[in-house]
Amino acid sequence: MRVAMIGTGYVGLVSGTCFADFGHIVTCIDKDASKIDALNKGEIPIYEPGLQELVAKNVAEERLFFSTDAEEAVKGADAVFIAVGTPTRRGDGHADLTYVYAAAEEIATLIDGFTVVVTKSTVPVGTGDEVEAIIRKTRPDADFAVVSNPEFLREGAAIEDFKRPDRVVVGTDSGKAVDVMRELYRPLYLNETPILVTKRRTSELIKYAANAFLAVKITFINEIADLCEKVGGNVQEVSRGIGLDNRIGSKFLHAGPGYGGSCFPKDTLALSKIAADAESGLKIVDSVIEVNAARKKKMADKVIDFMGGDVDGKTIALLGLAFKPNTDDMREAPSIDIVQKLQAAGAKIRAFDPASMEEAAKLMQDVMFCDGPYHAIEGADAIVIVTEWDQFRALDLERVKSLVKTPKVADLRNIYTPVYMAEAGFDYTSVGRSY
Ligand code: UDX
């Protein structure tokens, strides 16, 4: 099949590359000429394990192309994916659909023969109808169907998630379009991945409901963690104890400093707005948004308390800045609020992250970015573990002790245990573990 991918951001690039690796002929299109030039030279604009190799392989085998020109790619395509950004609109929290509608207008002028237009971007319920209306208005004669096909890719594991998904959701009334989508995802179908065919509006809602539910799970366990600290419990044991119940499931029950990233904060907010507009309030989602935002700041208070209530003039070393490991993404990362609040209380910040320091430098002032974990902790009054990168899980603790001013560790990701750290001679605090 021939595929045109409009928008070569995170989702478009990963999806386009994986479709090419399935054997389809894919052209990824972007208005940003410097991005396309870089991709044509083999330079990948994002940090995603395995992506560079997969792009190189499919370019070499002449299945994957990059271009600023949509015309040729869309004209011959069986499926045109819209994978442009849907950021939070300034002022009202709704998803900004400017780029989606601009893509629909461009596609409308170019489609030729039966074409499936697929919205991959996360879009509010009813956007597919609007995309269809835009194309129909420009080209009343065109033979096309608009399908919703949301992505469920985690940064850092996106290729694995694309190639071995729990399910594929296809939202459309058109049987002809379903056939094209089944052909596109055929390698998965052969692996017995469920392909759920629904109406378009339901498919659009599935994406928001999935992300909001995961955000609820995380926020729930974070509040249980706080309760554990007050009543003498251990949140990791609570997670295991409840997660073994199949109805609950063990995933997404790690307590920490609050969720961040490009999806959960944006999508929970957009879902809340959709629900409010439909006069069908989602109080649970509204609370999750509020509790999570407060939690990031609360983590700075936790560190300040741990340091005796005063951090003025103290040096604090942060290990990890990205919103999670294996990404350079700093969007909505808890480290941003933590650094701001600690600095406002007078602390000096040293920091190390294996991938995100360049991004972090755009968002944080007066932070000393260091060459490695041991460099970051030199002379520190306390270490704060903010992101659970693997390389922080087995630090040489004797070396750590010899480098810091005082051996204090606030572990916001629970990657060490209280007993182990006490034996190693550290004053240690973590999240939701009284023992
Ligand atoms: C998420 C969804 O998982 C994905 O399906 C969707 O398409 C996009 O949004 P991503 O943002 O890449 O993916 O990150 P994810 O791994 O889901 O983590 C999100 C945030 O939740 C991170 O800040 C992470 O640290 C936090 N988290 C996750 C927890 O605090 N505890 C957990 O148990 C799981």
* Residues with Cβ within 8 Å of residue 191, at least 6 apart in sequence: 164
Distance 425 CA to ligand 1 centre (A): 33
Task: Specify the pTM.
Answer: 0.94
Contact 302, 410 (CB under 8 A): yes
Q: Do 159 and 25 reside in the same domain of the chain?
A: yes
pLDDT > 90 in the chain, percent: 94
Confidence band, pLDDT 50/70/90 cuts, at residue 382: very high
Average pLDDT over residues 83-93: 88
Q: Do 279 and 332 reside in the same domain of the chain?
A: no
Average the pLDDT over each of 80-89, 132-141, 422-431 and give the range with the smallest value.
80-89
| 122 belongs to an annotated ligand binding site | yes
Q: Kindly state whether residue 203 falls inside one of the protein's structural domains.
A: no
Average pLDDT over residues 360-371: 97
pLDDT at 329: 92
> Is the pLDDT score of 116 beyond 90?
yes
Distance 313 CA to ligand 1 centre (A): 34
Nearest one of 195, 94, 174 to 132, comparing CA atoms: 174
Residues whose beta carbon lies within 6 Å of some atom of ligand 1: 151-155, 211, 214, 218, 252-254, 256, 259-261, 263-264, 323-324
Confidence band, pLDDT 50/70/90 cuts, at residue 82: very high
Query: Atom 34 of ligand 1 has which residue's CA nearest to it?
Result: 252
| 401 belongs to an annotated ligand binding site | no
Q: Do 263 and 309 reside in the same domain of the chain?
A: no
pLDDT > 70 in the chain, percent: 100
Average pLDDT over residues 67-90: 94
> What's phi and psi for 400, nearest 5 deg?
-60, -50
* Closest ligand 1 atom to 257 CA: 30
Q: Do 62 and 132 reside in the same domain of the chain?
A: yes
pLDDT at 385: 98
Q: Do 274 and 415 reside in the same domain of the chain?
A: no
* Closest ligand 1 atom to 151 CA: 7
Q: Both tokens of residue 191? A: 């692996």
Q: Do 34 and 172 reside in the same domain of the chain?
A: yes
Q: Do 376 and 309 reside in the same domain of the chain?
A: yes
Query: Atom 3 of ligand 1 has which residue's CA nearest to it?
Result: 154
Q: Do 29 and 104 reside in the same domain of the chain?
A: yes
Out of 176, 198, 220, pick the residue that ends a domain: 198
**Order of strands, sheet of 168-171, starting from the edge strand that comes earlier in the sequence:** 64-67, 25-29, 2-6, 79-82, 115-119, 144-148, 168-171, 195-198
* Closest ligand 1 atom to 251 CA: 33
What's the CATH number where 105 sits? 3.40.50.720
For 248-294, the pLDDT digits (tens) are: 999 999 999 999 998 999 999 999 999 999 999 999 999 999 999 99
* Closest ligand 1 atom to 263 CA: 9
Q: Do 61 and 157 reside in the same domain of the chain?
A: yes
Q: Kindly state whether residue 352 falls inside one of the protein's structural domains.
A: yes
Query: In 10 A of CB 149, how many CB atoms?
Result: 24
Q: Do 300 and 242 reside in the same domain of the chain?
A: no
Separation of alpha carbons 289 and 275, rounded Å: 14
Domain region containing 313: 296-430
| 155 belongs to an annotated ligand binding site | yes
| 166 belongs to an annotated ligand binding site | no
Q: Kindly state whether residue 177 falls inside one of the protein's structural domains.
A: yes
Q: Do 50 and 148 reside in the same domain of the chain?
A: yes
For 137-167, the pLDDT digits (tens) are: 999 999 999 999 999 999 889 999 999 999 9
pLDDT at 164: 94
Pairing status of strand 408-411 against strand 427-430: parallel
* Closest ligand 1 atom to 161 CA: 5
Q: Do 215 and 304 reside in the same domain of the chain?
A: no
pLDDT at 168: 97
Nearest one of 131, 98, 106 to 6, comparing CA atoms: 106
Out of 289, 315, 350, pick the residue that ends a domain: 289
Query: Atom 22 of ligand 1 has which residue's CA nearest to it?
Result: 259
Query: In 10 A of CB 109, how many CB atoms?
Result: 13
For 177-189, the pLDDT digits (tens) are: 999 999 999 999 7
**Count of the separate structural domains present in the chain:** 3
Confidence band, pLDDT 50/70/90 cuts, at residue 38: very high
Confidence band, pLDDT 50/70/90 cuts, at residue 93: confident
pLDDT at 189: 76
Q: Both tokens of residue 231? A: 């009543």
Distance 266 CA to ligand 1 centre (A): 12
* Residues with Cβ within 8 Å of residue 420, at least 6 apart in sequence: none
| 35 belongs to an annotated ligand binding site | yes
What's the CATH number where 212 sits? 1.10.1040.10
Give the per-residue SS3 of 324-355.
CCCCCCCCCCHHHHHHHHHHHCCCEEEEECCC
Mean pLDDT, the chain, rounded, equals: 96
Which are the catalytic amino acids? Answer: 263
Query: Atom 7 of ligand 1 has which residue's CA nearest to it?
Result: 152
| 30 belongs to an annotated ligand binding site | yes
> What's phi and psi for 237, nearest 5 deg?
-75, -35
Confidence band, pLDDT 50/70/90 cuts, at residue 90: confident
Q: To test the ligand 1 pocket, which listed residue (219, 248, 264) has its Cβ within 8 A of the most ligand atoms?
A: 264
SS3 state at 397? helix
Query: Atom 25 of ligand 1 has which residue's CA nearest to it?
Result: 324
* Residues with Cβ within 8 Å of residue 4, at least 6 apart in sequence: 26, 27, 29, 70, 73, 74, 77, 79, 80, 81
pLDDT at 95: 86
Average pLDDT over residues 358-377: 97
Query: Atom 8 of ligand 1 has which residue's CA nearest to it?
Result: 263
Q: Kindly state whether residue 345 falls inside one of the protein's structural domains.
A: yes
Distance 154 CA to ligand 1 centre (A): 7
